[in-house]
Amino acid sequence: MTIPSAGDAAATLPAQLLASARDELAPGGRLRVGVVHAPEASTFFVARDEAGKVRGVTVDLGLHLASELGLDAEIASFPNSGELTDAIEQGAVDLGFMPVDEERRRRLAFGPAYFLIESTALVRGNAPFHEVMDLNRPGVVVAGIANTTTVRNAARVLDAASVVSIPDVAAAVRAVDEGQADALVLSRDVLLNYQRFIAGSRVLDGRLHATGIAVGLQKGKPAALECLQQLMTRAIAGGTVRRIFDLHGFEREPVAAVEDIEQH
C-alpha cells in the first residue's frame, strides 16, 4: 500500500534535529511502531488480513512517520493499549498510538492528537438502559479492555457498578453477547462496528469521557518528541491523516482540528 503524503515534511526540519531524533528513537536504524489489533479496524484499532498481516490507520501513520524520518519501519501488534504502553515504556517498541489520559502522561510523552474519541457503552437489545449513566447502579457488570483509558474512566464514573477488565475486544464482545456482562465500554465509533456481532444490540446515548488518540514515546527523548510533534502536526494540517482515513474507509470520521491539538 502506498502511504499518502503531503510531501517530504522532514526535508524542512533541521538536519541536526533529525539526526538526534533518529538516535533517540531508533539507534538500530529501524523504527519499531506499536499498534493495537481488534476484530474490526477503526481509526485506532488495526485488523488482520487473510494473510495475517495487520492493516489500518495507525499502521499507515507509523509508516508515514518512519518515511519522514528516513527510517525503515517494523510493526508490532498488541491486544490492548495497556500492553502497548508497557512495551513503549520498557523499550520493546519505539513509539505507538493510543488514547491519552493522565496516567499515561505520567509514563510516556505524547505528540498531538490526530483523532478525538468519546466513550460510551454497547448493550444487548433487551437491556433496561438508554443512557450510559443508567449503568451506574449496583449489580450492573460493565466490561472494558484491560489497562485502557476507557476502563479506568468507567471505573471512576460508574462507581456504583462493577467494572471488570477483559484482555481484548473480542473477549469483551463475547462477554456481553453471552450475558456475562451487561455492557461493553469503548469509543462510540468502535462500538458501532460491533453491533452486528450482537443481534439487536444498542449503543447508549451520552458519554463517559472524551480524549484524543496520539503518538506516544518514552520520556527523556526531547529531539524525538519535537520531531514527532512537528511531523504529526503537519500530517494533520496538510491532509495526510485525512487521506489515510479515507484510504481505509473512514471518510465520515473527522480528523482532529489543528486548534484542538494542544487541548488533548
Residue type, 196: R
The SS3 call for residue 128 is coil
Closest CA to 61 of 262, 258, 214, 257: 214
* pLDDT value, residue 8: 56
DSSP 46: B
Report how far residue 28's alpha carbon sits from residue 49's, in angstroms, rounded to the nearest whole number: 29
Pick the CATH number of 9-116+213-263 from 3.40.190.10, 3.40.50.720, 2.40.128.690, 1.20.1290.10: 3.40.190.10
Report how far residue 88's alpha carbon sits from residue 26's, in angstroms, rounded to the nearest whole number: 12
Give the distance between the most distant pair of CA atoms in the chain.
Answer: 61
* pLDDT value, residue 79: 93
Which residues, 6+ apart, have CB-to-CB distance to 178 below 8 Å? none
Q: Match 488533548 to its residue by C-alpha cell.
A: 264
CB atoms within 10 A of CB 138: 7
Residue type, 144: G
pLDDT, tens only, 190-205:
999 899 999 999 999 9
Which residues, 6+ apart, have CB-to-CB distance to 263 below 8 Å? none
CATH fold match for the domains 9-116+213-263 and 118-209: yes
Model-level pTM? 0.83
Residue type, 186: L
| Sequence spans of domains, the chain | 9-116+213-263, 118-209
What is the mean pLDDT, run by run of 10 residues, along the chain of 264 residues? 48 86 93 95 92 94 96 95 96 96 95 94 96 97 93 95 95 96 94 91 94 97 97 95 96 80 44
Please, are residues 122 and 136 in contact by the beta-carbon 8 Å criterion? no
* pLDDT value, residue 257: 79
Closest CA to 88 of 32, 37, 47, 27: 32
Averaged pLDDT score across all residues of the chain: 91
Which conformational region is residue 54 in: left (phi greater than 0), alpha (psi within -120 to 50 degrees), or beta?
A: beta
**Residue 29 cell numbers, joined:** 536504524
Closest CA to 88 of 41, 26, 39: 26
* pLDDT value, residue 147: 86
Range 4-42 burial, b when 16+ CB lie within 10 A, else e: bbeeebbeebeeebbebbbebbbeeeebbbbbbbbebbb
Superfamily of domain 118-209: Periplasmic binding protein-like II (3.40.190.10)
Residue 133, burial from CB neighbour count under 10 angstroms (0-12, 13-18, 19+): middle
H or E element: which one contains 236? Answer: helix 222-237
* pLDDT value, residue 4: 46
Backbone angles phi, psi at 131, to 5 degrees: -115, 155
CB atoms within 10 A of CB 75: 20
